[in-house]
Amino acid sequence: MVNYIWLFFMVAGFIVAAFQGRIDLVTEAVFDGAKSGVTVCFGLISIMVFWLGMMRIAEDAGLLQKMSRLLSPVVRSLFPGVPRNHPALGYIMSNMSANIFGLGNAATPMGIKAMQELQKLNPNKDIASPAMCTLLALNTASITLIPTTLIAIRMSYNSANPAEIVGTTLLATFISTSAAIMVDRWYRSKSSPLGSGKG
């Protein structure tokens, strides 16, 4: 659906520019956008490599494992229907740990693996289970301590203080995560299949 929306915007822009006789603006915008995209990507590479390297050091030092252990009680309470030693819980904790450190690219594969494991527990394969909905909500609204990608983008545009957004990002993601959990709990309590606690 999103592809059709973007296609509509592009075609509409082209048609409006054609009627106004300003096709040159469309061409200029296309090339400027491509140039800006390449510039931002090159700027992101350095900071992403740095933070991914730091996270690899933290992982080898056991920091992510410690973070996962800290998250373990929270995860078990958020996913009551998932068996205690099921592989899905490990993937969920890894996903949440990576999101907390602002590494969305690293969190995505863990989130996909968690979804695959949760699907194995899903009695109705055509409908997302409560646990899958919870994971999606948490992954989308995750608390972020270090917004690595945003800092990298700000650095690529020569921000005077790229890291000044850390505090506001932490507050915003705390609020979004709290809201996601409250809405998830509300839906579980209102719907009998969700409220049964079987994730």
Residue pLDDT, tens place only, 77-103:
888 888 877 888 888 887 887 788 777
- How does pLDDT run across 158-186, given as a tens digit for each residue? 888 888 888 998 899 999 999 999 998 88
Q: Which long-range contacts (CB under 8 A, 24 or more apart) does 93-96 make?
A: 93/67, 93/68, 94/64, 94/68, 95/135, 95/139, 96/71, 96/138, 96/142
- Statement: the pTM of the whole predicted model exceeds 0.85: no
Cα separation, 182 vs 188, whole angstroms: 10
Model pLDDT for residues 143-162, shown as the tens digit of each residue: 888 787 777 778 777 888 88
Pairwise CA distance, residues 177 & 14, whole Å: 40
Encode pLDDT of 33-74 as tens digits.
Answer: 787 777 767 766 776 677 667 667 766 777 766 766 777 888
